[in-house]
Amino acid sequence: MLRNEWREPLRAQRDPLSEDGGRPRSNRDEHQQWRKQSWLGRFVSTYGWRAYALPILAVITALVLYQTVTQVSPGGPAKAQGPVQGPPTIGATGTGIIGAPPKGMTQFDANLPTGILPDGGPFTEAAAKTWHIVPGTTPKVGQGTVKSFTYTVEVEDGIDTTSIGGDEAFARMVSETLANPKSWTHNPQIAFTRIDDVTQGAPDFRVSLTSPMTVREGCGYDIPLEASCYNPAYLGDQPRVFINEARWVRGAVPFQGDIGSYRQYVINHEVGHAIGYRKHEPCGDNGALAPVMMQQTFSTNNDDDARFDPQSVQADGKTCRFNPWPYPIA
């Protein structure tokens, strides 16, 4: 008998501290009632308050994803889309220089602190007043549902571009800036194609690195500050975007030494005039990014800008942050 009892399987002893002294039994009535509930009722019974929170979280998540992709808020287009105020007048004709300081302001204070040319590297004061096309082309960038612009990149003869990486470095900055999604082609109406063979037809405009003395002839110099501009009828038939080499080398005070951003700005700003943005714009909201069509070369403060462009800017104390892009959050 002892041998047989030893061979019986071992059994776990019940817990002597247990009150019921046996395995708990399920409540069959409750189980049957649970089975009769709908799937929604069972879901609520199982997850409690979480059953109400989960759908709300799902809706919020979907809304955030939608706004991230479309950049549209419930109240309309997202304000951060870009500081571009109003559509361009594409195809507008005219001969007036755009971007030059207005005439008749000889009493202007040329010592405007933010308008002065910063210290920096050397540049060519005066060159030949003729330009050579930098070889290179790009495919069409942008949709161009209204206008597909062609342009050349040119350097004035006599400018030594060695210190800024050569002619090609200037051309590459122009092409890459205009091809950036934050530039003008974010607007589907606009497209750009860089060309270098004008025997097939003249470009819509020429982006031209130019010495300060030639810029003064092509843009005017009523206010003695180094500037760039767009002249739609230079020498009668050459729409030319003048990029002042002095500014290309040294930048502008409002850009706080960020020469790369300044170069992107001056390209976008002057090309903006070429594609139909005729007027300058003021700082819209204090502390916001400046509109790319604001004259940021001189200042990002409306009080300063109103001193040399009172027709476009009202002195109201607003100051923006420098910004090189038409659509900075594209």
pLDDT in tens, 54-109: 565 565 555 444 443 333 333 333 333 455 666 677 766 565 676 665 554 445 56
Comparing 133-137, 139-143, 275-279, which segment has the lowest mean pLDDT? 275-279
Angle at 191 between CA 190 and CA 197, to 5 degrees: 140
Q: Which of 56-70, 126-140, 289-303 has the lowest mean pLDDT?
A: 56-70
Spatial separation of the C-alpha atoms in residues 246 and 231, rounded to whole Å:
18
Q: Is the pLDDT of residue 254 over 90?
A: yes
- pLDDT value of residue 224: 81
| Closest to 227 (Cα-Cα) out of 133, 314, 98, 128 | 98
Confidence band for 158, pLDDT divided at 50, 70 and 90? very high
Higher pLDDT, 311 or 238: 238
Compute the average pLDDT of residues 103-132. 82
Residue of 302, 281, 241 whose CA lies nearest to 82 = 281
- Which of residues 48 and 10 earns the better pLDDT score? 48
Is pLDDT above 90 for 308? no
Burial pattern 27-47, b for ≥16 Cβ within 10 A else e, equals eeeeeeeeeeeeeeeeeeeee
Return the pLDDT at 41. 60
Terminal-to-terminal C-alpha distance of the chain: 89
pLDDT at residue 297 tops 70:
yes
pLDDT surpasses 70 at 330:
no
Q: What is the pLDDT of residues 22-49, one digit of tens each?
A: 555 555 555 555 455 566 566 556 656 5
Beta bridge partners of 193: 150
Instruction: Evaluate if pTM is beyond 0.75.
Output: no
Confidence of residue 3 (pLDDT cuts 50, 70, 90): very low
Domain ranges of the chain: 28-70, 80-308
91 vs 281 pLDDT, higher one:
281
pLDDT at 327 exceeding the cut of 60 = yes
The pLDDT of 173-187, averaged and rounded, is 97
